Amino acid sequence: MNSKRVLLLVLFAFSLMLVERYFRKRPDVITKTDWLAPIVWEGTFDRQVLEKHYRRRNITVGLAVFATGRFAEEYLRLFLHSANKHFMTGYRVIFYIMVDAFLQLPDIEPSPLRTFKAFEVDTERWWLDGSLMHMKSLGEHITSHIQDEVDFLFSMAVNQVFQNEFGVETLGPLVAQLHAWWYFRNTKNFPYERRPTSAACIPFGQGDFYYGSLMVGGTPHNVLDFIEEYLNGVIHDIKNGLNSTYEKHLNKYFYLNKPTKLLSPEYSWDLTFSPPPQIQYVKVAHDSQRKL
C-alpha cells in the first residue's frame, strides 16, 4: 500500500473520530450518513484540532474555477476576491482559473501562500455543453500537472461568493456538496435521471441524498475518476440519443461511489431562499436566478 493511500485512510479515520465526538452538538440536522461519512455543519467540528492535524502535513490545496461566457469578468472578480479572503486561509493554495479568453485577472493582494494560474479553455465547441467542455479541460490539466502540485482539489462554479471561512474541515478523499434546496425536501421527489437507458439513471426508490453541481472536491485522483466517469456517461447517452444534465451524472456517480465527506447547504446556500433555522452560518452563497 503506497504512502498516499495510507495518508487518505488516516484522514478518513480522523474525520470519523471527529464526527463521533461532535455530532451531538447539532441534533437538529443529519451529521452522519448511513455509510458513516460526516456531514459538515457549523458546530460539528473543532477547527483548532483540524488545524493542528493538517498543518503537520504541510498540504497544498487547489481551487479550479471556470470563467467563461458573458458575465465571466464580473463573477470572477467577486469569486477570487472572496476566495482569497476565506478559502483555506493560512495554507498554500493554487488557483486554477480556466477562461475562454485571457481576461485581465482582478488585482489580488499578493501572498507567498497564494498562486494564481490562468489557462485558456478551447472554446470551439464549449457553448454546445459548457459542463462537458469544462470537465474535459479540467481532466486534462489534472493529468498533465495538477495531480503533482496539490494534495486536495476543489472545482467550483464561478457564480459563488465566499462569505465566511471555508477551511480544512471540508477536506477529504471525495467531497460532495448537498443541494441547498433539495436537502430540505422529500427524498422521493429528488429530480434524479429516471430514464433507464441513460448512464445517469437512478431508479425510483433508490438514492440517498441529492447533490448540487456547484462544487466537487477530493484528491486529484478521485476528482479525475469522477470526470472520466462523467465523460463516459455523456458519450453513452449521446449514442442513445439522450442528453442528461451534468448534475444528474454527478448524482449517479455519488450514488455508486459514496463520498467520504458531505458539505451541508451552508457551503452553497442559494440566496433566492430565506435560510431556515438549520442554516446557522452561510460559508458560500450564490443566486440561482442570476445568469452565467
**Residue 249 neighbours by CB under 8 Å, 6+ apart:** 193, 199, 200, 229, 230, 233, 234
In whole angstroms, what is the distance from residue 286 CA to residue 266 CA? 11
In whole angstroms, what is the distance from residue 145 CA to residue 148 CA? 6
Q: Is 116 annotated as a binding residue?
A: no
CB atoms near residue 97 (< 10 Å): 19
Question: Whose CA is closest to 121, among 103, 105, 146?
Answer: 103
Residues forming the active site: 247
Q: Is 247 annotated as a binding residue?
A: yes
In whole angstroms, what is the distance from residue 44 CA to residue 39 CA? 8
Question: Whose CA is closest to 287, among 277, 267, 266, 273?
Answer: 273
Q: Is 42 annotated as a binding residue?
A: no
Half-sphere exposure of 267 (CA within 13 A, CB side): 31
Q: Is 221 annotated as a binding residue?
A: no
Question: Whose CA is closest to 218, among 56, 44, 50, 63?
Answer: 63
Specify binding-site residues for UDP-N-acetyl-alpha-D-galactosamine: 71
Specify binding-site residues: 71, 179, 247, 270
